[in-house]
Amino acid sequence: SRLADLQSNVSFLREECRSRKKEFEEELDKAVNAQVEIFILQKFIEDLEQKNFSLLIECQKYAEASTFSEKLIAELESENLEQQMEAEFLVHEIDNFRGAIYQVFKALQVEADCKTADQKVAKERIPVSRVLGDI
């Protein structure tokens, strides 16, 4: 009976050993799977960090380009304003020159009219000798 108890005990212990070994292997599989997942996640995080860094550099370049563009736009707007003011000044000067040219033209026209009148008077003049000769 004692031998049977011992055999039963050994059999129970062997079964318990197999069960624990199976649990250990399952836990070991879980640990290996967890390690693989951790490795994959770490690699994914590294890739994301690299991508994030690349995007940060690209964003900085765009920010610099934007700042440069804003300065350029301000300069161009200032230059445009100067050109508009210069154009207005030139239009005013052109109007002044037009007026002056018109006055010169009128003066020349008056002078031409005067010369024409002088020529008519000269043609109509009778030389004094002729007048005296007729008397």
The pTM for the full model equals: 0.49
Segment 54-107, tens digit of pLDDT: 999 999 999 999 999 999 999 999 999 999 999 999 999 999 999 999 898 887
Q: CA-CA distance, 1 to 126, in Å (whole number)? A: 183
User: Where do the H-state alpha helices sit in the chain?
Assistant: 2-124, 128-134
Q: CA-CA distance, 67 to 41, in Å (whole number)? A: 38
